[in-house]
């Protein structure tokens, strides 16, 4: 197989799931009410509020109702596009204030850097918004790594367990699916990517994965192509 491009998931693949669940999500939950209240008239937030109202099919939902819904979605780890967009906006403050830096496994950092040097195209597909993806790499544990990447894709291209999302991303990348290697810790995401014609590799960072349907590795050190 000739791989020219990498498409990688973040949480559980390049980045410790505990950073996302124990640092990023609680930060967004803690700041949600004050952020929505203070930014209510900000056009970007107003557009997110409209998307939330559409999602819950309640065009009259007031500020308190919107905050309640978003808080519930955070608690349920819902991968809903307007929640992800809002989280990205809130995390910008946390990163800029130095409250946290974006976690990246050392092996991911080393291999992404080496692959870039070798001429591969590097791309991200995460449920986190494109802004949130860029923040994680701009303020990463290894400094500003945004320059490593050629493309960032989020759920505006479709959900990560849907084949059509991978087809749309391959099209946007201008690369045949058969030349793309998709990396993820979630089998259903890899199933969808494989159905779209991509090569796949399953990252098993912490827990053993039962009956793997894809090539399994414990770190980027073991990825060969
Ligand atoms: C961009 S960092 C935050 C990640 C996030 O919000 C999330 O839901 C994780 O999704 P992933 O698709 O990277 O597993
Ligand atoms: Mg993941």
Please tell me whether residues 83 and 178 are part of one structural domain: no
> Tens digits of per-residue pLDDT, 100-112?
999 999 999 999 9
Q: What is the pTM of this model?
A: 0.94
CA–chain centroid gap for 178, Å, is 22
Beta carbons of 85 and 129 less than 8 angstroms apart:
yes
Using the Cα atoms of residue 48, residue 193, residue 189 and residue 105 in order, give the sign of their dihedral.
negative
Tell me the average pLDDT across 7-27: 97
Please tell me whether residues 63 and 116 are part of one structural domain: no
Please tell me whether residues 199 and 169 are part of one structural domain: yes
H/E run at residue 151: strand 151-153
Inform me whether the pLDDT recorded for 80 exceeds 70. yes
pLDDT at residue 67, as a whole number? 98
Please tell me whether residues 183 and 77 are part of one structural domain: no
Please tell me whether residues 165 and 89 are part of one structural domain: no
Mutate to test the pocket of ligand 1, among 11, 21, 137, 158 (most ligand atoms within 8 A of CB): 11
Question: Counting Cβ atoms within 10 Å, is residue 57 exposed (0-12), middle (13-18) or buried (19+)?
Answer: exposed
Domain boundary among 96, 128, 155: 96
Tell me the average pLDDT across 5-30: 97
Please tell me whether residues 149 and 39 are part of one structural domain: no
> Tens digits of per-residue pLDDT, 152-208?
999 999 999 999 999 999 999 999 999 999 999 999 999 999 999 999 999 999 888
Measure 96 CA to ligand 2 centroid, in angstroms.
24
Please tell me whether residues 9 and 68 are part of one structural domain: no
pLDDT at residue 126, as a whole number? 97
pLDDT at residue 1, as a whole number? 66
Tell me the average pLDDT across 133-144: 98
The tally of domains found in the chain comes to 2
Which percentage of the chain shows pLDDT scores above 70?
100
Question: Where residue 81 falls among pLDDT bands split at 50, 70, 90?
Answer: very high
Please tell me whether residues 78 and 134 are part of one structural domain: no
pLDDT at residue 200, as a whole number? 98
Please tell me whether residues 75 and 138 are part of one structural domain: no
What residues line ligand 1, using a CB cutoff of 6 Å?
9-12, 20, 24, 79, 84, 87, 126-128, 132-133, 136, 160
pLDDT at residue 199, as a whole number? 98
Please tell me whether residues 79 and 127 are part of one structural domain: no
| Residue 10's CATH number | 3.40.50.1000
Buried b (16+ CB within 10 A) or exposed e, 119-133: ebbbbbbbbbbbbbb
DSSP state of 182: E
Q: By residue range, what is the domain housing residue 116? A: 5-16+103-222
DSSP state of 22: I
**Mean per-residue pLDDT over the chain, rounded:** 97
pLDDT at residue 210, as a whole number? 87
| Residue 68's CATH number | 1.10.720
Please tell me whether residues 78 and 135 are part of one structural domain: no
Please tell me whether residues 66 and 112 are part of one structural domain: no
Question: Counting Cβ atoms within 10 Å, is residue 96 exposed (0-12), middle (13-18) or buried (19+)?
Answer: exposed
Domain boundary among 96, 130, 163: 96
Domain boundary among 79, 96, 113: 96
């Amino acid at each position: 197989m000739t791989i020219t491009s990498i498409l990688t998931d973040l949480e559980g693949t390049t980045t410790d799931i505990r950073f996302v669940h124990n640092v990023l999500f609680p930060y967004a939950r803690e700041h949600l009410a004050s952020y929505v209240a203070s930014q209510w008239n900000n056009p970007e937030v107003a557009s997110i509020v409209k998307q939330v109202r559409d999602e819950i099919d309640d065009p009259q939902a007031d500020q308190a109702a919107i905050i309640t819904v978003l808080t519930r979605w955070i608690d349920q780890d819902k991968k809903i596009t307007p929640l992800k967009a809002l989280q990205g906006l809130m995390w910008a403050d946390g990163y800029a204030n130095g409250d946290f830096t974006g976690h990246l496994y050392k092996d991911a950092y080393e291999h992404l850097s080496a692959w870039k040097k070798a001429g591969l195209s590097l791309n991200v597909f995460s449920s986190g918004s494109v802004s949130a993806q860029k923040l994680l790499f701009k303020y990463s544990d290894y400094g500003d790594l945004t320059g490593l990447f050629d493309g960032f894709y989020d759920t505006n291209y479709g959900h990560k367990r849907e084949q059509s999302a991978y087809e749309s991303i391959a099209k946007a990348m201008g690369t045949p699916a058969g030349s793309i290697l998709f990396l993820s810790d979630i089998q259903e995401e890899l199933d969808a990517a494989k159905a779209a014609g991509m090569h796949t590799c399953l990252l098993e960072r912490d827990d053993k994965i039962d009956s793997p349907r894809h090539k399994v590795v414990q770190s980027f050190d073991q990825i060969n192509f």
